[in-house]
């Protein structure tokens, strides 16, 4: 318990104190829970229990004993709780969100079957304060309970029977199916100990788990409304009669005074007979002070049968503490009517007065309602604005995070900003200038610079340049030009951004290098293998080459469609229109002009077929050349045109490249750099190992692999795409090559072997040590041989000497001692070897020596201390 319990006095002599000692419970309060559980049996079936305000842990011990094995038990208290088996405990204030988070972290998505609360505020000065703090604590624990309780769960709490007691019970009633207040025998009724005597335990069962809980139920300001009244003073204010009056006329607003119990009256539950209420000259006070109106006498029982007695009145009489103003009004009306019926009253003044009062109250209530409604609307608007602000902030934070993770291209950011502005309805949809502004805004943020290109800055001048922009947009050319300029600048800025990133982050450079290396190992289709080793023209893979040829074919076919026929089953390739080309294209065309290489074997086999025998050798040769040679298309067409040769029925059209060069994987130029890397370091990705294993185990073939290289990822043209886009694609847009468990295991095993290797320096030192030992042994052997060869020694003398020699050879030999000379007195400031000092020495200052000694002392005691 937070407050140390007195070791003397009543508490100590208590029988439960002794029992607790006997049975090993940390607090006698343990018996309260035992007795509660005996009555309601909530622990036996519970799998998860949270005990709020649990120190020193008596209840936790009980929970741990009565709950099934493997159940989860969590205890929280302001003060740390000594460990209890099977129980997790935290030191936290249950009124804080930190405590809530701790419980949430522990439970994850579990819910509790039971929430216990035996909290008592550690104030202990004024009873009124204690009681109020206790009630607040109860409400806090209820708040936690509704958050963590399972539907149908149980909440057990200690409540002080103070003025707030009924309010709390009412709130419990709204959230639980069954609410029962009970006082276990161990909670002694001792008027001297007011806290103990007033404590009562409420067991709330069958938690309803409503989807929406009115926050007012859990807000002390609403549940215990007359916070200021206890401070109020004045002759009448604290009197219970006055309180009672206020209870009746404003039960929702005004609570009774918080002055605790009336002197000499510690009873909380009061009954009043219906007769007393009807005949009382102060019916309002009767209603305010009593809990229930009972019908005991014969006469009163008869009243129950009268037509004046409605069902509502009966229920209202049952529990006066939960009534609202309307209910009180109807009770008072019923009283008046009954009094008239009984002939006790004719319409008298007090009734009028009373009615007046009620009316005034009603008007006041109306105003109050309007005021409340206004306040509610205001609060709602504020909450909405706050939500929106938070959402905007979240979006902003997310964007920044995505940028940091490099998930967002600058273009996205610009567009997001534009979207935002569109959302606000202040900008024109599809306003190109805005997009540009958005783009540059994003990039400027990205590269951390405020600079915006001048032409765009101009664009930002609102109003004045608007017409220019509109004009600009009118003309397609202008738009095209602007877009191009924008694109170029965007590329430039992206490069700058990349550079900046590289500068900032050395890790990125390493990552980039690794990525480049990784690319070497990735299977990117037939063309990727010789990508790095060959020149620019080889940048595209086989597919690209074929595509290029197809494109050229298409171009030329549109021009010369009339005079060309397709040869059966063969593709033909025409030279492309030669624009002032990119390097790549120029190189390709240059390739075509090279002299033809000798025909491949495949070509020879092909032309050895009978069908070609009918063609004269010239034609065959020519066609053969056309098919086999790289420049065939240009050359043969020239020949055709020059010779005015007629197209034959079967026209043999060459491919743009020889078989070997395009598709024959065997003929591909091996990538030496790549090969060297793989030979030195082995395959480093699971994908590569998977493919290699599949090849070795004959689960796949080279041809399959080549075919697999043609995926949707290999068909993309990269022309005219911005660098940032390609960068991004290279990271994320690639085939997902399946990997096997074996490949991963093999890689892991290799990594483990690598990790297990000693670091180079240690390995070298070990090597040196071994070498020295071997040398010593060799020397010893040599000496032993000499001894053995000596004639003037007996055998036993020889053996002794050899043994000594071998011993010396095996041992490391004594390290030469280094003398420590303290540089003080005569040794101070001298240079060179001090006088009278022989052998190894080192000069130290006094402090250093002390430090060395201290270290040695420490080292010596280290083993002992452990
Ligand atoms: C009567 S003791 C609980 C005894 C406990 N049920 C047992 O059996 O050992 C009340 C405890 O409530 C704790 N307490 C009071 N206010 C608290 C708060 N705001 N947060 C957490 N614990 C609190 C006190 O530290 C004290 O240990």
| Among candidate residues 698, 340, 673, the one with its CA nearest the CA of residue 532 | 673
> Domain with 137 in it: what CATH number?
3.40.50.150
| Among candidate residues 635, 648, 625, 656, the one with its CA nearest the CA of residue 564 | 648
Q: End of a domain among 180, 195, 223?
A: 223
Q: Is there a domain that residue 317 lies in?
A: yes
Atom of ligand 1 nearest to the CA of 118: 6
Does any ligand 1 atom lie closer than 6 A to the CB of residue 77?
Answer: yes
Q: Is there a domain that residue 210 lies in?
A: yes
Whether 451 and 319 share a structural domain: no
- Asked whether the whole model's pTM tops 0.95, one would answer no
What is the per-residue pLDDT across 702-736, written as a single tens digit (0 to 9) for each? 888 888 888 777 777 777 787 888 888 877 887 88
Mean pLDDT, residues 363-385 taken together: 79
Closest C-alpha to ligand 1, atom 20: 93
Q: End of a domain among 667, 700, 727?
A: 667
Number of C-alpha atoms within 13 angstroms, CB side, residue 19?
A: 11
Q: Is there a domain that residue 81 lies in?
A: yes
Say how many C-beta atoms besides its own lie within 10 A of residue 652's C-beta: 22
Whether 616 and 701 share a structural domain: no
3-state secondary structure of 309: coil
Does any ligand 1 atom lie closer than 6 A to the CB of residue 93?
Answer: yes
Does any ligand 1 atom lie closer than 6 A to the CB of residue 123?
Answer: no
Q: End of a domain among 721, 739, 756?
A: 756
Say if strands 819-822 and 112-117 run parallel, antiparallel, or are unpaired.
Answer: unpaired
Atom of ligand 1 nearest to the CA of 60: 8
What is the per-residue pLDDT across 668-713, written as a single tens digit (0 to 9) for each? 566 788 888 888 888 888 888 999 989 898 888 888 888 888 877 7
Whether 58 and 164 share a structural domain: yes
Rounded Cα gap, residues 93 and 138, in angstroms: 13
Q: Is there a domain that residue 369 lies in?
A: no
Instruction: Decide if 158 is catalytic.
Output: yes
What is the per-residue pLDDT across 383-416, written as a single tens digit (0 to 9) for each? 999 989 888 888 888 877 776 665 655 444 444 4
Residue 822 dihedral angles phi and psi, to the nearest 5°: -80, 130
Whether 711 and 765 share a structural domain: no
Residue scoring higher pLDDT (315 or 449): 315
Mutate to test the pocket of ligand 1, among 25, 63, 120 (most ligand atoms within 8 A of CB): 120
Using a 10 angstrom Cβ sphere, with 0-12 exposed, 13-18 middle and 19 or more buried, the burial of residue 550 is middle
Using a 10 angstrom Cβ sphere, with 0-12 exposed, 13-18 middle and 19 or more buried, the burial of residue 589 is middle
Whether 20 and 154 share a structural domain: yes
Does any ligand 1 atom lie closer than 6 A to the CB of residue 75?
Answer: no
Closest C-alpha to ligand 1, atom 5: 54
Question: In 711-844, which ranges are E strands?
Answer: 819-822, 841-844
Say if strands 819-822 and 149-160 run parallel, antiparallel, or are unpaired.
Answer: unpaired
Q: Is there a domain that residue 386 lies in?
A: no
Is the pLDDT reported for residue 568 higher than 60? no
Say if strands 199-207 and 149-160 run parallel, antiparallel, or are unpaired.
Answer: antiparallel
Whether 97 and 216 share a structural domain: yes
The ipTM value here is 0.99
Q: Catalytic residue among 38, 47, 65, 158, which?
A: 158
Q: Is there a domain that residue 593 lies in?
A: yes
Rounded Cα gap, residues 743 and 436, in angstroms: 49
Q: Is there a domain that residue 843 lies in?
A: yes
Is the pLDDT reported for residue 127 higher than 50? yes
Contact by Cβ (8 Å): 158, 198 = no
Helices assigned H by DSSP within 577-652:
583-593, 601-607, 617-628, 632-643
Whether 764 and 752 share a structural domain: no
Whether 189 and 79 share a structural domain: yes
Does any ligand 1 atom lie closer than 6 A to the CB of residue 1?
Answer: yes
Whether 777 and 744 share a structural domain: no
- Taking CA atoms, 794 is separated from 174, 460, 800, 805, in Å, by 111, 111, 10, 17
Q: Is there a domain that residue 431 lies in?
A: yes
| Beta-bridge partners for 73 | 49, 87
Whether 129 and 254 share a structural domain: no
Whether 80 and 114 share a structural domain: yes
Is the pLDDT reported for residue 222 higher than 90? no
**Domain carrying residue 25:** 10-223
Whether 92 and 217 share a structural domain: yes
Closest C-alpha to ligand 1, atom 15: 121
Does any ligand 1 atom lie closer than 6 A to the CB of residue 58?
Answer: yes
How many domains in the chain?
7
What is the per-residue pLDDT across 781-796, written as a single tens digit (0 to 9) for each? 999 999 988 888 888 9
């Amino acid at each position: 318990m937070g407050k140390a319990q007195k070791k003397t006095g009543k508490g100590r002599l208590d029988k439960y104190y002794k029992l607790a000692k006997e049975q090993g419970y940390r607090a006698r309060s343990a018996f309260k829970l035992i007795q509660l559980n005996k009555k309601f049996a909530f622990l036996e079936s519970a799998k998860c229990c949270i005990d709020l305000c649990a120190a020193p842990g008596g209840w936790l011990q009980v929970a741990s004993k009565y709950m099934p094995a493997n159940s989860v038990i969590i205890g929280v208290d302001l003060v740390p709780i000594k460990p209890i088996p099977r129980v997790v405990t935290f030191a936290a204030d249950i009124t804080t969100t930190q405590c809530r988070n701790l419980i949430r972290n522990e439970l994850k998505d579990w819910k509790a079957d039971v929430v216990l609360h035996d909290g008592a505020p550690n104030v202990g000065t004024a009873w009124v304060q204690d009681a109020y703090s206790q009630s607040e604590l109860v409400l806090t624990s209820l708040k936690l309970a509704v958050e963590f309780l399972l539907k149908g769960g149980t909440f057990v709490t200690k409540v002080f029977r103070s003025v707030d007691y009924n309010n709390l019970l009412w709130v419990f009633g709204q959230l639980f199916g069954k609410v029962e207040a009970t006082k276990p025998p161990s909670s002694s009724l001792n008027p001297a100990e007011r806290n103990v005597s007033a404590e009562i335990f409420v067991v709330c069962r069958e938690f309803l788990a409503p989807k929406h809980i009115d926050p007012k139920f859990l807000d002390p300001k609403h549940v215990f409304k007359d916070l200021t009244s206890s401070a109020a003073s004045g002759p009448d204010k604290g009197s219970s009669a006055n309180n009672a009056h206020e209870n009746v006329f404003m039960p929702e607003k005004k609570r009774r005074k918080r002055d605790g119990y009336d002197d000499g009256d510690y009873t909380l539950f009061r009954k009043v007979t219906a007769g007393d209420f009807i005949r009382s000259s102060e019916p309002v006070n009767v209603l305010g002070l009593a809990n229930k109106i009972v019908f005991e006498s014969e006469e009163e029982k008869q009243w129950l049968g009268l037509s004046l007695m409605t069902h509502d009145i009966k229920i209202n009489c049952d529990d006066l503490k939960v009534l609202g103003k309307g209910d009180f009004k109807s009770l008072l009306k019923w009283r008046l009517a009954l009094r008239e019926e009984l002939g006790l009253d004719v319409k008298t003044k007090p009734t009028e007065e009373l009615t007046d009062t009620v009316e005034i109250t009603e008007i006041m209530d109306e105003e109050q309602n309007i005021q409340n409604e206004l306040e509610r609307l205001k609060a709602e608007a504020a909450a909405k604005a706050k939500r929106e602000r938070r959402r905007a902030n979240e979006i902003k934070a997310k964007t920044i995070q995505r940028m940091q993770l490099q998930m967002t291209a600058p273009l996205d950011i610009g567009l997001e900003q534009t979207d935002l502005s569109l959302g606000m309805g202040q900008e024109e949809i599809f306003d190109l200038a805005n997009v540009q502004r958005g783009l540059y805004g994003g990039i400027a943020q990205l590269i951390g610079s405020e600079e915006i290109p001048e032409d765009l800055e101009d664009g930002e001048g609102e109003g004045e340049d608007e017409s220019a922009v509109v004009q600009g947009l009118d003309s397609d050319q202008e738009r095209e030009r602007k877009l191009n300029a924008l694109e170029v600048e965007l590329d430039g800025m992206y490069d700058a951004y990349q550079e900046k990133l590289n500068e900032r982050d050395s890790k990125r450079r390493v990552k980039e290098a690794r990525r480049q290396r990784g690319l070497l190992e990735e299977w990117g289709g037939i063309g990727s293998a010789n990508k790095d080793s060959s020149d620019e023209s080889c940048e595209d893979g086989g597919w690209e080459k074929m595509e290029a040829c197809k494109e050229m074919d298409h171009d030329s076919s549109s021009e010369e469609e009339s005079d060309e026929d397709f040869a059966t089953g063969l593709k033909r390739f025409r030279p492309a229109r030669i624009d002032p080309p990119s390097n790549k294209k120029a190189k390709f065309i240059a390739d075509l002009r090279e002299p033809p290489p000798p025909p491949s074997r495949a070509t020879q086999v092909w032309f050895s077929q009978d069908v070609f025998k009918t063609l004269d050798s010239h034609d065959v040769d020519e066609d053969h050349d056309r098919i086999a040679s790289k420049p065939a298309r240009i050359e043969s067409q020239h020949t055709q045109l020059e010779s005015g040769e007629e197209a034959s029925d079967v026209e043999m059209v060459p491919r743009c490249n020889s078989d070997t060069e395009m598709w024959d994987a065997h003929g591909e130029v091996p990538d030496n750099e790549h090969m060297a890397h793989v030979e030195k370091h082995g395959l480093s990705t699971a994908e590569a190992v998977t493919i290699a294993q599949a090849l070795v185990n004959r689960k796949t073939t080279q041809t399959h692999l080549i075919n697999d290289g043609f995926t949707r990822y290999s068909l993309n043209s990269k022309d005219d795409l911005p660098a940032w886009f390609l960068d991004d694609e290279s990271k994320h847009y690639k085939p997902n090559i399946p990997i096997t468990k074996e490949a991963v295991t093999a890689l892991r095993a290799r990594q483990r072997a690598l990790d297990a290797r000693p670091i180079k320096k240690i390995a070298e030192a070990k090597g040196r040590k071994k070498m020295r030992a071997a040398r010593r042994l060799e020397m010893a052997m040599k000496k032993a041989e000499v001894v053995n060869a000596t004639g003037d020694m007996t055998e036993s003398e020889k053996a002794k000497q050899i043994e000594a020699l071998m011993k010396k050879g095996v041992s490391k030999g004594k390290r030469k001692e280094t003398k420590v000379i303290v540089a003080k007195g005569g040794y101070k400031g001298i240079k060179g070897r001090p006088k009278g000092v022989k052998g190894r020495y080192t000069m130290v200052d006094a402090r250093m020596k002390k430090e060395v000694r201290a270290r040695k002392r420490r080292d010596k005691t280290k083993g002992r201390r452990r």
